[in-house]
Structure 1
Amino acid sequence: MYSLQELQQLLRIYVTHDLFQAIVIETTALCNRRCSFCPNSLLGREKGVMKIEDFKHIINQLSSLHYKGRISLHMYGEPLIDKRIIRFVGMVRRACPDAFIQLNTNGDFLTKKIVTAFGKAQVNLLYVSQYDGKINQNVKEILQWIEEKKPKYRHMISVRVTTAFTDNRGGLLPHLGKRPIQKTPCYRTSTTMTINWHGDVVLCCSDYFGAVTFGNIRKQSLRNIWLSPKFQQVRKNLFFGKRKTLPICSKCSYIPHTVYADSTIEEHFHRNGLFTQLFVDPTISWTYANTFISPN
């Protein structure tokens, strides 16, 4: 049973906004790892990088829209493996000075040069996921360097140390997660636009193969894709728990953790001072874990 506050939050999510609250841009599909919780470990998928012309086209549209939401430069590829990433981040910040810029990385290619460049570009969150259950040595050295030399960059880096995974990525990884209750709502399509490296706007971050597409950024504007009849119908179906309307959704184990929907909760808390830093390594006192506190 939802409280009045939760129902109000759900209503705000459901009402179709003229624009998405978050956008995920896959600049590269290349990754150096084959993690068991990722489809890259088991399935074949065409690999490549987004054309710079396509990236510019997306960012220019966001600039024209005066976009202030979240811009995430990652998906199934490792963003730091792309040599253009520093340039891309700079382009995003110049085009969207008030946007929340986030990158998720495995940390293998993290360097002082990258951290410095991201700091200058005012990246809001560099999310370093350590899937071995410990902080890898190169990441630890970077954190120690920041502690000693660049303390102003502390707020930018969040390190998650975990070995637990439950999302089966739209049923592609059946060994992860349990089959969901079919009426469980999903709010990802109500808040987030996801663009793969081909420029296709796909269902969500679990749509590894692009099984559900709403258009391509070379042919339609971001706003027109977002407000298209197909996108709106899918959004409505999933909000009301009609997962069986899409095969990928009927097999997906993802269940929203809160009524805030998707990972937009993270930047909401971050902006409002509710993002809590947790101690996970006794040698680095300010490393954080992936934990949130309730605003109530």
Structure 2
Amino acid sequence: DHVDIETCSLCQMRCPMCFQTVRDDVNNGMMDMDLFKDLMAQVARHKPYSIRLSWRGECLLHPRFSEMLDHARDVYSGNISFITNGLKLDEALFRQLIERRIDYIVISADGLGDTYQAVRSPGRFNALVEKLTLLRDMKREKRSRFPMVRINGVSLWFAGEELEQFRRVFAPLTDKILVGGVLNNFKALPPRHDPDRVCASPWQRLLVSFCGTVHPCCDDYLGLYPLGDAKVQPLADIWRGRPAQEIRRLMRRRRRLDNPLCSAMDCGIDENPNEEDDAFMELMRAQARSGGERLAGLLPYLRTKGPGEGDGR
């Protein structure tokens, strides 16, 4: 159904809740163009419903990303998207996205004004609003629905009426706004799990890292469960291979926690209310205190919330 191709795993932001900040064991780099073209040749042959040209990092940091985008559309007519923090969005890229009919982009954004700027430094809130206003106007001028725009946010960075204010700012500029709970990426705090939950990801997608290793889940940012190596194996063989079949078998038997990836990582399937967990929130407070003046203003958001307060509704 879907293939994620990680063009770049590096990121120029250090958001205090992100694994890029709180972990020191994430492998980072950029995808070689030859590997990318080989993957796209396979995508063109097998025609999955959709591809995403990003995973763990900021894809727009890749110096050849624009070329990758053009090549992807040249050989594949399906749904193309990518996730970005928005820092490198500009008019030239918007023009390319419209002309090549890239289906949608997902922009990660948290908090209003100064809060956004503390969480997503060196991003500027007003600059993001101006960029999305420009994209909306360019789409109107070209009478294009594409690219559609989704905002992804974390409920941790909103208090009181701020989430509704956030929606009022971005609703006229985007097609969808999703705000969900914060995930636990801390090595020091094992996540909680519901063993009866079943995940559909092993039947739906493959994720190819910048260096070619293939994974079954977007939460495998540590590379705990590689399915194969796309540099030496066709994606179709990896999809049908023993590691992929094994994780599906465990899911069917409701034994996903026997898998080292599922047992180690906090993912959306468990729906953990981390903002109600004082141990998690204390780790977040420590992150904010260690960030000096830039993050000090975030401490009021980091009190442990009561039941239902941290669900993003």
> Is the structural similarity TM-score above 0.5?
yes
Q: Quote the residue 2:224 is aligned against.
A: 211
Q: Quote the residue 1:242 is aligned against.
A: 255
Q: Quote the residue 1:53 is aligned against.
A: 34
Evaluate the alpha carbon distance shift between residue 196 and residue 244 of structure 1 in structure 2; reply closer, same or farther with a 3 A threshold.
Answer: same
Evaluate the alpha carbon distance shift between residue 31 and residue 242 of structure 1 in structure 2; reply closer, same or farther with a 3 A threshold.
Answer: same
User: Shift of residue 111 of structure 1?
Assistant: 0.6
Q: Distance in 1 between matches of 2:9 and 2:188?
A: 18
RMSD of equivalent CA atoms: 2.3
Q: Secondary structure at the match of 2:108?
A: strand
The answer to whether the 8 Å contact 2:155/2:182 transfers is no
Larger radius of gyration, structure 1 or 2?
A: 2
Tell me whether 1:195 sits opposite 2:208 in the alignment.
yes
Q: Deviations over 1:80-121 (max 9, x none)?
A: 111211111111111111x11111111111111111111112
Q: Quote the residue 1:184 is aligned against.
A: 197
The answer to whether the 8 Å contact 1:183/1:240 transfers is no
Aligned match for 2:82, one of 100, 103, 111 = 103
Please give the TM-score of this superposition, normalised by the length of structure 2.
0.68
The answer to whether the 8 Å contact 1:146/1:153 transfers is no
Gaps of 5+ in 2: 117-124, 157-180, 271-313
Q: Quote the residue 1:286 is aligned against.
A: none
Aligned match for 2:96, one of 117, 121, 124 = 117
Tell me whether 1:227 sits opposite 2:240 in the alignment.
yes
Q: Distance in 1 between matches of 2:208 and 2:126?
A: 33
The answer to whether the 8 Å contact 2:58/2:85 transfers is yes
Amino acid at match of 2:19: P
The answer to whether the 8 Å contact 1:185/1:241 transfers is yes
Evaluate the alpha carbon distance shift between residue 172 and residue 84 of structure 1 in structure 2; reply closer, same or farther with a 3 A threshold.
Answer: farther
Evaluate the alpha carbon distance shift between residue 161 and residue 248 of structure 1 in structure 2; reply closer, same or farther with a 3 A threshold.
Answer: closer
Evaluate the alpha carbon distance shift between residue 149 and residue 102 of structure 1 in structure 2; reply closer, same or farther with a 3 A threshold.
Answer: closer
> How do residues 44-193 of structure 1 correspond to structure 2 at under 5 angstroms?
44=24, 45-65=26-46, 67-97=47-77, 99-133=78-112, 136-151=125-140, 152-155=143-146, 156-164=148-156, 165-168=181-184, 172=187, 174=189, 179-193=192-206
% identity of equivalent residues: 22
Q: Deviations over 1:11-67 (max 9, x none)?
A: xxxxxxxxxx111111111100112332110222332101111101100111122x1
Q: Distance in 1 between matches of 2:127 and 2:216?
A: 35
Q: Distance in 1 between matches of 2:50 and 2:133?
A: 28
Amino acid at match of 1:107: G
The answer to whether the 8 Å contact 2:106/2:152 transfers is yes
Q: Secondary structure at the match of 1:123?
A: coil
User: Shift of residue 182 of structure 1?
Assistant: 1.6
Q: Quote the residue 1:39 is aligned against.
A: 19
Evaluate the alpha carbon distance shift between residue 234 and residue 110 of structure 1 in structure 2; reply closer, same or farther with a 3 A threshold.
Answer: same
Q: Distance in 2 between matches of 1:190 and 1:161?
A: 26
Q: Distance in 2 between matches of 1:255 and 1:39?
A: 15
Q: Distance in 1 between matches of 2:188 and 2:50?
A: 28
Please give the TM-score of this superposition, normalised by the length of structure 1.
0.72
The answer to whether the 8 Å contact 2:10/2:28 transfers is yes
Q: Quote the residue 1:251 is aligned against.
A: 264
The answer to whether the 8 Å contact 1:39/1:172 transfers is no
The answer to whether the 8 Å contact 1:188/1:204 transfers is yes
Q: Distance in 2 between matches of 1:193 and 1:117?
A: 26
Length, aligned pairs only = 233
User: Shift of residue 203 of structure 1?
Assistant: 3.1
